């Protein structure tokens, strides 16, 4: 059974068939789903989904592109949600310099990234990190805040194998999704082949980033089989081995998952 470590079923693109999709998911081999909040509204919907479906758990946090949602009051509200038995992680949090070029906003991203890392430490929860076009600053912050004391995953990993090793040294996991199936994803294929299997998690980031042969369509956790197959091919091991190892990895990281 597959452990989906990063999905956004609260997304509008699932409004037409969300219930049908989630109800059939376990029959299709998806054992557990972590639904990841990225803004305040998404966090609220994540909590509702986790309440409605036994196999769905929630990560709560504010994405770097959505930090205008954060102030002391909403931060306090996030903290209060952490005791919810189905809140298993803080995320997604991090830095995104792809969409944001202004220094002042970048500074604000770094500030709220640190605060949410501290929240995870205080609550004893792992983190789900988003990092785009900000490799150096993300690593600097995670190392500076003693990331080795705050377990986590760098989701939708897009950097080099050397950068992955820096996180693995701190005990981090590397989230690999649909991009690994794309022909031009040379660097990520190399990372997926080289890093220890004990540090890889499967994720979709659905509705985004559908793997081949579904590329361009709306993504769902059912497409994780293509991701697992590609990782197996790159490493020269079996599909079952990839599914089993990534499931164990995820259960080691997200300890509140039953």
| Alpha helices, H only, the chain | 18-24, 40-52, 72-81, 103-123, 135-144, 161-169, 186-194, 224-235, 239-253
Q: How many residues bind Ni ion (CB under 5 A)?
A: 1
Whole-angstrom Cα distance, residue 161 to residue 112?
27
d(CA 157, CA 63): 16
The least CB distance from residue 219 to Ni ion, in Å, is: 11
Report the sign of the C-alpha dihedral through residues 247, 248, 253, 258, in that order: positive
- Nearest approach in angstroms of CB 238 to Ni ion is 28
In the complex, least distance from residue 171 CB atom to Ni ion, rounded to whole angstroms = 22
Q: How far is the CB of 209 from Ni ion (least distance, A)?
A: 9
Is 39 among the residues that bind Ni ion (CB under 5 A)? Answer: no
Alpha-carbon span 251 to 112, nearest angstrom: 27
Query: Measured at CB, which residue is nearest to Ni ion?
Result: 205
Q: Which residues pair with 4 in a beta bridge?
A: 33
| Residue numbers 90-129 binding Ni ion by CB under 5 A | none
The residue among 40 and 193 lying less far from Ni ion, judged by its C-beta, is 40
Binding segment (CB under 5 A) for Ni ion, from list 26-34, 189-197, 201-209, 218-226: 201-209
Residues 160-199, one symbol each (x = binds Ni ion by CB under 5 A, - = not), give ----------------------------------------
Distance of CA 58 to the CA centre of its chain: 11
Nearest by Cα to 132 from 104, 156, 164? 156
Q: Which is nearer to Ni ion, 9 or 167 (CB)?
A: 9
Q: How far is the CB of 156 from Ni ion (least distance, A)?
A: 7
Residues 6+ apart with CB under 8 A from 175: 5, 6, 128, 153, 154, 155, 156, 157, 201, 202, 203
CB of 117 to Ni ion, least distance (A): 17
Q: Which CB, 94 or 151, lies closer to Ni ion?
A: 94
Q: Which stretch binds Ni ion (CB under 5 A): 54-62, 81-89, 112-120, 205-213?
A: 205-213
| Shortest distance (Å) from residue 36 CB to Ni ion | 5
Nearest-angstrom CA–CA distance, 183 and 212: 9
Q: Which is nearer to Ni ion, 191 or 219 (CB)?
A: 219
Q: Which of 10, 96, 100, 205 binds Ni ion (CB under 5 A)?
A: 205
For CA atoms 29, 32, 38, 44, the dihedral sign is positive
Nearer to Ni ion, 125 or 154 (CB): 154
Given the rule CB under 5 A, which of 51-59, 172-180, 202-210, 235-243 is the region that contacts Ni ion?
A: 202-210
Q: In this structure, are strands 127-132 and 200-202 parallel, antiparallel, or unpaired? A: unpaired
List of residues contacting Ni ion (CB under 5 A):
205
């Amino acid at each position: 059974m597959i452990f989906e470590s990063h999905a956004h079923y609260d997304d509008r693109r699932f409004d037409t068939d969300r219930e049908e999709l989630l109800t059939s998911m376990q029959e299709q081999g998806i054992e557990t789903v972590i639904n990841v909040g990225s803004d305040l509204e998404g966090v609220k919907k994540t909590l509702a989904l986790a309440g409605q479906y036994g196999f769905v758990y929630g990560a709560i946090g504010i994405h770097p592109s959505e930090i205008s949602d954060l102030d002391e009051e909403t931060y306090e509200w996030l903290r209060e949600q952490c005791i919810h038995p189905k809140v298993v992680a803080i995320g997604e949090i991090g830095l995104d310099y792809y969409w944001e070029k202004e220094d002042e906003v970048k500074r604000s991203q770094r500030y709220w990234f640190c605060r949410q890392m501290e929240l995870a430490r205080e609550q004893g929860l792992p983190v789900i990190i988003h990092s785009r076009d900000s490799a150096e600053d993300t690593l600097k912050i995670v190392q500076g805040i003693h990331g080795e004391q705050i377990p986590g995953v760098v989701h939708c990993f897009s950097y080099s194998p050397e950068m992955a090793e820096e996180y693995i040294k701190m005990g981090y996991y590397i989230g690999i999704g649909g991009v690994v199936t794309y022909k031009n994803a040379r660097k990520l294929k190399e990372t997926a082949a080289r890093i220890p299997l004990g540090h890889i998690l499967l994720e979709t980031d659905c509705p985004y980033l559908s793997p081949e042969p579904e590329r361009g369509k709306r993504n769902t956790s059912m497409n994780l089989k293509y991701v697992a197959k590609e990782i197996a091919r790159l490493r020269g091991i079996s599909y079952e081995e990839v599914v089993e190892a990534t499931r164990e990895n995820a259960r080691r990281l997200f300890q509140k998952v039953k």
